[in-house]
Chain A
């Protein structure tokens, strides 16, 4: 019997200079830059419990179902795409007040840990684009 695919969880944290309500509402607005919905070529979004989304970006379709929508503190929804091998991964967002700011966390769990998910060449391009100077420097030092 073939072993089940291992999964990984990615977590991120940001300090956003706005109230939890503004950040919560911003994240659910397709008009706000940086939300996944903002880059959609086609979008259907119904952010309520058991509401669905359909997101078409760069030729790839993503689907999901909202399972928790607790304004202004928490959002959870499933996320299905070719990269999840058709499995339901889970995206969980939390928004916590810290003074005048909001600590926002995003966790994406249940992602299949496959070579397709971590493409070596693209990984390199990401680093080269993000840190061009030090990669150039590190490469020279190695020689």
Chain B
């Protein structure tokens, strides 16, 4: 895939947008990111790999720890390329997924 496709794919998933939202407030360690998101560790690893491939995050080794930081430039580069239907389907699918998550929560109560 080209860079544009990598970035659009990276931001098409709500979990990855949530990670971007977290890192936008400042760099974090891997476990800090995993703790904040209700998903398996290997899923977090997969999401981070996709964000890294798109150039949206970078890793820096500090001693024994790896610090992950957000990079905003790729988003700015692709901002003009977002298709109307990109927004349309992302909004629809986010709401559709949330509908089922809400139903699952109600069942648990």
Interface residues of A (CB under 8 A from B): 8, 10-18, 22-23, 26-27, 32-36, 38-39, 83, 104, 106, 108, 111, 113, 117-120, 122-124, 126-127, 130-131, 133-135, 137-138, 141
Known interface pairs A131-B21, A134-B72, A137-B72; A34-B80 also in contact (CB < 8 Å): no
Give A32 to B87 CA distance when docked, in angstroms: 19
- Docked Cα-Cα span, A10 to B83, in Å, equals 9
Instruction: Tell whether, in the assembled complex, residue A118 and residue B82 are in contact, meaning their CB atoms are under 8 Å apart.
Output: yes
Which residues of chain B are within 8 angstroms of A35 by Cβ–Cβ distance?
A: 92, 96
> B80's closest neighbor in chain A, by CB?
A120
Q: Is the CB of B93 within 8 A of A26?
A: no
Interchain residue pairs A-B with the least CB separation, the first 10: A34-B96, A34-B95, A138-B72, A134-B24, A123-B82, A120-B80, A133-B24, A33-B99, A123-B79, A18-B100
Interface residues of B in 63-100 (CB under 8 A from A): 70, 72-73, 75-76, 79-90, 92-100
Q: Are A17 and B101 interface neighbours, CB within 8 A?
A: yes
- Interface size of B by CB at 8 A reads 39
In whole angstroms, how far apart are the Cα atoms of A6 and B88 in the complex? 20
Bound Cα distance from A139 to B13, whole angstroms: 24
CB closest chain-B residue, reference A123: B82
Determine the distance from Cα of A130 to Cα of B82 in the docked complex, in whole angstroms: 13
Take A32-B99, A118-B84 as given contacts and tell me if A13 and B70 are in contact as well, using a CB distance cutoff of 8 Å: no
**B98 cross-chain contacts in A, Cβ below 8 A:** 33-34
Whether B82 lies near A108 (C-beta < 8 A) is no
| Total CB contacts across the A-B interface at under 8 A | 116
- Whether A131 contacts B92 in the complex (CB less than 8 A), given A33-B99, A34-B97, A118-B83, comes out as no
Smallest beta-carbon distance B79→chain A, Å: 5
Contact A32 B101 (CB under 8 A): no
Cβ contact of B70, chosen from A16, A18, A134, cutoff 8 A: A134
Could you tell me if B83 and A8 are in contact, using CB atoms closer than 8 angstroms? yes
- Is B51 on the interface with A (CB-CB < 8 A)? no
Is B25 an interface residue when CB atoms closer than 8 A count as contact?
yes
- Chain A: CB-nearest residue to B86: A10
Residue from A15, A17, A134 whose CB has the most chain B CB atoms within 10 Å = A134
